[in-house]
Amino acid sequence: MKFPPYPFWLFNSSTLLFLYISNPTAAEIVPDATLPVNSRVTEQGNTTVIEGGTTAGTNLFHSFKDFSVPTGRTAFFNNAIDIQNIFSRVTGNSISNIDGLIKANGVANLFLLNPNGIIFGPNARLNIGGSFLATTANSINFADNFQFSATNPQTAPLLTINVPIGLQFGQNPASIQVQGTGYDLSDPHPIFGPIIRGNTLTGLQVLPGKTLALVGGDINLVDGVITAEQGRIELGSVDGGEVSLNLISQGFTLSYQGVQNFRDIRMSQRSLADASGGGFIRVQANNLSLTNGSLIWIQNQGSQQGGTININAERSIKLSGNNPPSRSQTFSVISETIGSGNGAYIVVSTKDLMILDGQSIHTHSYDSGKAGNLNVSADSIQLIGFSPTFTFQASALASIAYSSGNAGNITASTQRLAIVNGGNIVSVTFSSGDGGNVTVNAADIELIGTTPPPILPSGFSSDSLGEGNGGTLTVNTSRLVIREGGITSSAYAAGDAGDITINATESVEIGSIAPEHPWINYLGASSRIHPYPAILRQPAVPSGFSGNVTINTPVLRVRDNAKVEVNNQGIGNGGTLRVNANYIFLDNGGRITALTESGTGGNIELRARNLLLMRRNSEISATASSAGDGGNINITTPLLVAFPSEDSDISADSLEQRGGSVTINSSAIFGTQFRNGNTSLSDITATGANSQNGTVQINTPDVDPSSGLIELPVNIVDPTRLIARGCPANRGNSFTVTGRGGLPPSPNELLRANNTVSVNWVTRDSSSRGAEDSSSRGLQEQIVEATGWIINDKGEMELIAFAPTPTSNGNWFAPLSCPE
């Protein structure tokens, strides 16, 4: 039998195709012929050895048509030891799939340039002595205007010996993806302990002190892990333009002044960017999302210092997650120090920041080093909700000190801040370190809702649960609204609570219909007994002092059982509560209080420039519950109004010791009055135990409000003081009108129609008017001065003179009282 004569070329092509399919690695790294000295590739078992290339000084250039590293294989750049930088480009049309090992000799930095895209699989690894940069740029730019281009791979007779200065991107650059198996982290002490790294090394990692950079279009990490201990991580997502490149001892830094538009970076499914050991992480994108436990993390050990996490997203940052199995996965961005060195700073800048599902941005100190500062700047900040698994873990911006090191300072600046369903901005100290200061600058602030039990309100807090003092809490805003939220500065042990200052240029409104809870609808500084002392290792009675509260705003509204207070439930004294406003409204159980358990009562200083109104069981109180004296209340307002039957009280009482003092400076007080004890009416009291009453001083004008009349002036105008005596007509004379009838009212009082007598003016006959010859003016006959007036029989007013007898003098002198 004869077989049909198949052409040899078909058999040969099929054989090559079969060989390619059965051994695809043979064509994974394919050099091109675009360099003066081309790259050479040889196979040695599972290793593809890359040699040759063009050398220019300490720079080595490689060029490939295709570059991929399959699972289980190694791409080995067998460079000379003195090479500092290896530049490799892909000029073909295929994506680089890296799922094996890339290594090089010596300390050379490795640049991988492929405009088609780069995918790092779950088995991708690096074994290089220098830094690593993967990019989907079109070219690498150098200082002498040379471009090492993957899209225009012209043969250059001499490649540059200069260092690179930038990455040039085309339109719509391709993406970079990092896949993996997620990080190996744990938190064996979920409340008081740091995050612990496991023994499994995964993902892309460079040597300590080096840079790992991914710069392209969209950057996606799916279970991906990138690590640069004590070094730098650069994640940049751009949409064209030039990214500047600066070489430093740690590798290189990137800047984006030459980029107009950016793309998106997504980290999902327990992805990790880790530059622990005082490193630096920079993320630059249009939109950034971290979901499902993904984490950006720097942890410093020993004396390692500082570092920075710098995140900039032109449009938005979203941190969210679902049902994380451990507390560490509720952190999205975290800086920790577990030694004497300070923690890394965190700087976040975007247009819209949204933190959901109990995710958070934290800085922590577990030793003597100070926790890093946290600075967030955005047009809109939203902190919403809590972890579905750990309901006490709310969406937050936080800095916490667990040992002798201080917590970091937190600054949040935005146009609109919405904190909902338990979200929080919080600074806490658990030991001898002091809490950090919290500063919020926002045009509009809303603190709304709580978490499920154990209830945590939405809001701001600065807490001390140890010997260290709490930090200050400052809010600068136009409008502050608290509905089921709270602003608290609390001390639960030996440390003092920090001060709270609210500066609101429009209004502060606190209150809503909600269940009674000590932290809901609350603004205050306190030293109080913690509701869970055993869990958080707190004493039964705190010994620290309460902080002070200052509110500056045109309008303060406190309603529906809401409280503004300073409070000490321990052995210390109460703080001072100051309100400077135009209007203060208390309604439906709204309270302003300065309470103590055993120390001296606190102080309340209220200044309402227009009105202080108290309605429906509202209260102003500086009361001591047991061993302490009552506090002091000082109210200054032109008008204090309460309704007698609504039981709105002002009190400086003490249950067991001497009553305090109440001083009210007001032009008018309606609906409340001093009484020796509390009644069902609206009262002003300073009651003490065993008749040790305090003092109530009410300073008002001598007016009986029930008469409905205004008080007449005490000092009646003396007309003789307003009339010049014996002045010639051509001197500086004046005519003073003191009123048309009745007594002149005080200039501070309204002119009332029924308090005056109207007298019509006498009209001068117009026919008697004549022209005046100015040339004839001179020293004229002395005019007799009017010294009184009468009502004639026509009901008209006439001026009359009772001239004194003058004493003759040889010379005419103007009296000293006459102006010249």
Which three-class secondary structure state does DSSP give residue 26? helix
Q: Does residue 454 have a cis bond before it (omega within 30 degrees)?
A: yes
Q: How many helices (H) and strands (E) does the chain have?
A: 1, 61
Tokens in use for 382?
Answer: 């939203």
The CA dihedral of 435, 441, 446, 447, to the nearest 10 degrees, is 0
Which residues contact residue 794 at a Cβ distance below 8 angstroms, ignoring those fewer than 6 apart?
none
Tokens in use for 308?
Answer: 């920075």
Q: How far apart are CA 407 and CA 373, in angstroms?
A: 8
Which residues contact residue 183 at a Cβ distance below 8 angstroms, ignoring those fewer than 6 apart?
202, 225, 270, 271, 272, 274, 295
Per-residue pLDDT at 189:
74
Q: How far apart are CA 666 and CA 607, in angstroms?
A: 10
Amino acid at 403: S
Looking at residue 156, the DSSP 8-state letter turns out to be P
Q: What is the bridge-based pairing of β-strands 797-800 and 788-791?
A: antiparallel
Phi, psi (rounded to 5 degrees) for 14: -65, -40
The CA dihedral of 788, 792, 796, 800, to the nearest 10 degrees, is -20
Tokens 């394919």 belong to 30
User: How far is C-alpha 30 from the chain's CA centre?
Assistant: 53
Which residues contact residue 469 at a Cβ distance below 8 angstroms, ignoring those fewer than 6 apart?
429, 434, 435, 491, 495, 496, 497, 498, 544
Phi, psi (rounded to 5 degrees) for 291: -130, 155
Per-residue pLDDT at 388:
83
Enumerate the H helices of 473-596 as residue ranges.
Answer: none
Per-residue pLDDT at 665:
98
Q: How far apart are CA 102 and CA 126, in angstroms?
A: 5
Tokens in use for 330?
Answer: 């509720």
CB distance 217 to 174 below 8 Å: yes
Which residues contact residue 456 at a Cβ distance below 8 angstroms, ignoring those fewer than 6 apart?
386, 392, 394, 422, 424, 450, 519
Compute the chain's Rg from CA coordinates: 41
Amino acid at 498: G
DSSP run (H or E) holding 22 = helix 8-22
Beta partners for 613? 585, 641
Q: How far apart are CA 542 and CA 519, in angstroms?
A: 18
Q: How far apart are CA 643 and CA 588, in angstroms?
A: 12
Closest to 630 in 3D by CA, of 597, 651, 652, 598? 652
Q: How far apart are CA 695 and CA 300, in angstroms?
A: 58
Beta partners for 562? none
Q: What is the bridge-based pairing of β-strands 374-384 and 219-222?
A: unpaired
3-state secondary structure 477-508: EEEEEEEEEEEEEEECCCCCCCCEEEEEEEEE
Per-residue pLDDT at 329:
62
Q: How far apart are CA 179 and CA 789, in angstroms?
A: 104
Q: How far apart are CA 712 and CA 77, in angstroms?
A: 102
CB distance 127 to 98 below 8 Å: no
Q: How far apart are CA 767 and CA 25, in angstroms?
A: 124
Per-residue pLDDT at 717:
54
Q: How far apart are CA 223 and CA 390, in angstroms?
A: 22
Per-residue pLDDT at 662:
98
For residue range 731-790, list pLDDT tens digits in order: 555 555 544 444 444 444 444 444 444 445 555 554 444 444 444 444 445 566 666 666
CB distance 284 to 256 below 8 Å: yes
Residue 804 burial (C-beta neighbours within 10 Å; 0-12, 13-18, 19+): exposed
Beta partners for 87? 61, 111
The CA dihedral of 427, 428, 431, 435, to the nearest 10 degrees, is 30
For residue range 583-599, list pLDDT tens digits in order: 999 999 999 999 988 77
First CA to last CA across the chain, in angstroms?
A: 147
Q: What is the bridge-based pairing of β-strands 438-448 and 788-791?
A: unpaired
Positions in the chain whose pLDDT score sits under 70: 1-27, 155-158, 190, 322-329, 454, 702-791, 793-797, 799, 801-820
Which three-class secondary structure state does DSSP give residue 204? strand
Which three-class secondary structure state does DSSP give residue 731? coil
Query: How does 525-562 read in b/e, with b if 16+ C-beta sit within 10 Å?
Result: bbbbbbeebeeebbeebbbbbbbbbbbbbebbbbbbbb
Phi, psi (rounded to 5 degrees) for 774: -65, -25
Beta partners for 589? none
Amino acid at 374: L
Looking at residue 238, the DSSP 8-state letter turns out to be B
Neighbours of 420 (CB within 10 A): 20
Residue 808 burial (C-beta neighbours within 10 Å; 0-12, 13-18, 19+): exposed
